[in-house]
Amino acid sequence: MKILFYDTKKYDRQSFEQTLEKFPEVSIDFTSSDLDPITASLAQGYDAVCAFVSSDVSAPTLEVLHQLGVGLVLMRCAGFNNVDMEVAEKYGIQVMRVPGYSPEAVAEHAMALALACNRRIHKAYVRVRENDFSLNGLMGMNFYQKTAGIIGTGKIGAAMCRICHGFGMRVIAYDIYENPDLKSFVEYVSLEQLLSDSDVISLHCPLMDSTRHMINKNTISQMKDGVIFVNTSRGALVKTQDLIDGIRMRKFAGVGLDVYEEETDNVFEDRSDEILEHSTTARLLSFPNVVITSHQGFFTKEALEAIAHTTLQNAMDYKSGVVKPF
């Protein structure tokens, strides 16, 4: 099985090359180009392509892959909102992903963001480096005995519920399905109640038509003043302009974002002044109570090993005709 691996970073190559030792029937060529309708033509002669959240796996890309006889798209991530699943099915291209690798990696990062913006760690860090030991503007609140509202209690949301419970917080949650594993310490409530009762709100549901812009002017207005809001899920769950308006109106004590709407524009990789000047992400960065990281929630040693292992196992399963639930 020959795989063309798109958008290769040094750490991807390391973890996949190490794991390849256990999969002697698989060979991988790595390219730094990301998958799109133009670079798809590089996949000539390959059985599969390996893509990521930033890849463009839309209809035109899938059309090229189909023409080249590529039958498998291996997503080395959980999310697949960048894949046109209908078109993949039409062409008989199998899409496989890594539904869960290390939910704790993302949940721990969500808590890190919540704590960082609550206690202004980002400001304190810079201040102390400048030899300024003043505490002005750094006051936070205790999380102990506060209410954490978790939206989406699948693998990552459940891990976040456990972390918040460990902090001594009351944990409430909203999901379209209740997770039976959490029943002993999580209270399921309506979205409205979660928004109005929570001191810390963390998003852990997937991006779908029904969840796009679920955090908007209306839902923000239902939140408590002084709430801490964290999104490690997908940028487009939040209507960024409405979030900016909410920050300006001092709704939030802190906002922690690992994902943002403009991510697919590679706003940070380009670093073009023109894009940054006009981007809503750049405007978010200008607020002192906002902490933004670069989609790094998944980025732990354990998670990378698990991603490589599941992706290569997916390739072998495809080869031997094992049908896995998506």
Q: Where do contacts with ligand NAD occur on this chain (CB under 6 A)?
A: 78-79, 100, 103, 106, 151-157, 174-177, 204-207, 210-211, 232-234, 258-259, 295, 297-298
Element (H, E) at 62: helix 59-68
> Can you tell me which residue has the tokens 């949301």?
157
**CA–CA distance, 228 with 170 (Å, rounded to integer):** 15
> Can you tell me which residue has the tokens 């679920």?
214
Q: Least distance to ligand NAD from the beta carbon of 197, Å?
A: 16
Selection from 108, 158, 153 nearest residue 298 by Cα: 108
**Contact criterion met (CB below 8 Å) for 36 and 56:** yes
Which residue among 104, 262, 263, 283 is the active-site one? 263
Q: Least distance to ligand NAD from the beta carbon of 210, Å?
A: 5
Nearest residue (CB) to ligand NAD, 72 versus 78? 78
Nearest residue (CB) to ligand NAD, 61 versus 232? 232
Nearest residue (CB) to ligand NAD, 159 versus 312? 159
Nearest residue (CB) to ligand NAD, 251 versus 295? 295
Record the tokens describing residue 143, joined without a space. 């999380």
Nearest residue (CB) to ligand NAD, 47 versus 258? 258
**CA–CA distance, 103 with 158 (Å, rounded to integer):** 8
Q: Least distance to ligand NAD from the beta carbon of 244, Å?
A: 21
- Reported for 178-182, long-range contacts at CB under 8 A and 24+ positions apart, including other chains, are 178/153, 179/153, 179/154, 182/153, 182/158
Sign of the four-CA dihedral 263, 265, 268, 274: negative
Q: Which residue is nearest to ligand NAD (CB)?
A: 154
Selection from 259, 292, 264, 296 nearest residue 102 by Cα: 296
- Residue 234 appears among annotated catalytic residues: yes
Q: Least distance to ligand NAD from the beta carbon of 128, Å?
A: 28
**Contact criterion met (CB below 8 Å) for 82 and 61:** no
Q: Least distance to ligand NAD from the beta carbon of 288, Å?
A: 23
- Residue 178 appears among annotated catalytic residues: no
Which residue among 97, 204, 234, 283 is the active-site one? 234
- Residue 119 appears among annotated catalytic residues: no
| Residues noted as catalytic | 234, 263, 295
